[in-house]
Each structure stands twice: as C-alpha cells, then as structure tokens.
Amino acid sequence: MMLRASYGTIRKVNGNSSLEMDTAYLMLGERCVYNCLYCAQSRSSTSPSHFLSRVTWKEVSEDLLGKLNDRFKRVCIQVVSYPSYGKDLRLIIPRFRIPVSVSVRAVSIEEVVEYFELGADRVGIAVDVPNKTLFEKIRGGKYERHLHILEKVSEMFPGRITTHVIVGLGESDKDIVDFTVWARERNIVVSLFAFTPIKGTAFENRERPSLERYRKIQLVTYLLEKNLIKPENIIFDSNGKIIDVEWNGEFPEEALRTRGCPHCTRPYYNESPRGPIYNVHWR
C-alpha cells in the first residue's frame, strides 16, 4: 500500500503549521490506470509520483492515521485508481473516529455503497469536465455512465455526495452552469477547481483560466446553490459565455471560498501562495 499525506497535513500533525486546515488530506496509491490528460497521476504522465495537482505528497506510514483523529475534524482520502485500491480502502476507512470523505473514480453503485458501509461519511465522484464530448476525450470513459452513478448514489445517500468541476478544460460557462443546476437538483455538492498545468502531463502547456472568468463562475454557481437566482437569470452569448447576471446584490465573500465537504479548505491546491488565489481557504 502506498500512502501519502499532503505537506500541509504533515506540518499540522507536527505542530508546525498556522494554516486554517481542519481536514487532513491523504493520497492512496500512485500511477492511475486511467489517462486523464491534465493529471499528474495519469497513466502517461511523466510527473513525479509525489504530485497531485500542485500539491506535494509525502510517503507516510500507517502509524500516522491514528494521530489524525486528534488533530483534525475530517480526513479526505484521495484515491488513485490502481488495481488494488478497493482492498486497501477496506483497511483504512474503519481506522478513523472522525468523519471520512473518500474521493474516488467509482466504477459502480455497489462500490460506493461499500464505502458507506465501511464508515465513510461522504463520497466524492469527480466529473471534472462537465461536457460529454470533452469528458470522453480528456478523461476517457462514458459520461452518461458517470452521471448515472452520481444520480443513483445521491438518491441512496442524500446530501452525502460530492463532485468536482475543473474550470479551464475547454468547457463553456454554460456547461458548468447546466451541470451545477443538475447537481443541485440532486443535492450533490459541486466543488470548483481552477485548472492547473502540471509539468509532465499532456496539458502542461495549457493556460490557466483567467481569474475574471473564475470569479464569475464562482459567483453564479454560488447564487444558484443558495437559490438566490434562477438559471433564467443568467445571460449567455452564442458561445455559452456568461455576459450578465440579473442580480443586484454585492459580491458575497463566501462565494470565493473553497467548496466541498464540511471543513474542507484545500490550501493552495490549485494556486501558489504568491497568488493569484482562486479558492480562498481562510475564514
């Protein structure tokens, strides 16, 4: 079993971090069987195996797991899809007293059910690319199958399912808005990420989304999730770009903050501390 913890997690365990960080982040496994073109862990990536997004993950022993219960409010296990990941998760999930989130590319409804039976509090199934054509080109697999699993497990475990969307992989603003509405109707939490080019991946030379675009999407998706606007209040141009929002309030600071499971902050997951800051992790 290859088990790693984020650099920030290790610093907090050792008492050396002032970060507002109530969730411990673990990465299980390395070198995925899938070939997502933007991911450092993908099959074809030449990135060092201790990277996921721009975060450095340090190999740790299983002795660390018990220490997390007293120092954090939640643990997030980010699962690389290697052949025996299911077997290893069966060993790890029951070892925590604090709530456990499992972020995994689940291949079946039964797989998700098993994680809840083992004691997981939430399960995250990332879509990342909310556009059928782009999903199947960039991530591989069948988009409809992915949505089917998300929909069914959200019915079985209401309010306990999360998904991810990465802004900047070629999708339109309307793709993201439509997917957010779909997920909101099913009580699925959508976590927003900004695309981060990682050296050694197929997308290493792709540009990041502009901060202006990201802020616009943060605002619109936040307003939709809080039922402060309806989809028809969002005006798009012919290319699916947001050009106006029929809403008169001020920009809510909460819209800038990291979204996800309770206590999730993901400090500097997709940005350098030097900025620009896409997801604000402090309160």
pLDDT digit string (tens) for 228-242? 999 999 999 999 999
**What is the reported pLDDT for 15?**
85
> Is position 274 within any domain?
no
CB atoms within 10 A of CB 63: 7
Inside any domain, residue 276: no
Asked if residue 178 belongs to a domain, the reply is yes
The 8-class DSSP code of residue 197 comes to -
The pLDDT value given to residue 266: 85
Q: Would residue 12 be called left, alpha or beta, if left means φ above 0 and alpha means ψ between -120 and 50 degrees? A: alpha
| Per-residue pLDDT at 118 exceeds 90 | yes
Average pLDDT for 236-262: 95
Give the separation between CA 50 and CA 32, rounded to whole angstroms: 13
What is the model's pLDDT at position 120?
A: 99
Tell me how many degrees the CA angle 46-104-196 measures, rounded to the nearest 5. Answer: 45
Name the H helices within 119-245: 132-138, 143-156, 173-185, 211-225
User: Is 81 within a domain?
Assistant: yes
92-105 pLDDT per residue, tens: 999 999 999 999 99
**In the chain, % of residues over pLDDT 70:** 99
CATH at residue 198 = 3.20.20.70
What's the pLDDT at 185? 98
Q: Is the confidence at residue 216, as pLDDT, over 70?
A: yes
- Residue 268 belongs to a domain: no
Mean pLDDT of 52-62: 84
C-beta neighbour count of 231 within 10 angstroms: 13
pLDDT at 173 exceeding the cut of 70: yes
Q: Please write the tens of the pLDDT for every residue from 2-48.
A: 999 998 899 899 887 677 789 999 999 988 999 999 998 999 999 87
Q: Please, what is the average pLDDT of the chain?
A: 94
Domain count, the chain: 1
Q: What pLDDT is stored for residue 283 in this prediction?
A: 60
Structure confidence at residue 52 (pLDDT) = 78
Domain extent at residue 26: 3-256
Please write the tens of the pLDDT for every residue from 152-168: 999 999 999 999 999 99
Is 221 inside any structural domain? Answer: yes
How many alpha carbons lie under 13 Å from residue 80 in its C-beta half-sphere?
A: 25
Let me know if residue 48 belongs to a domain.
yes
In a domain, 279, yes or no: no
Q: Cβ(35)–Cβ(44) under 8 Å?
A: yes
Cis ω for the linkage preceding 276 (within 30 of 0): yes
- This prediction has a pTM of 0.95
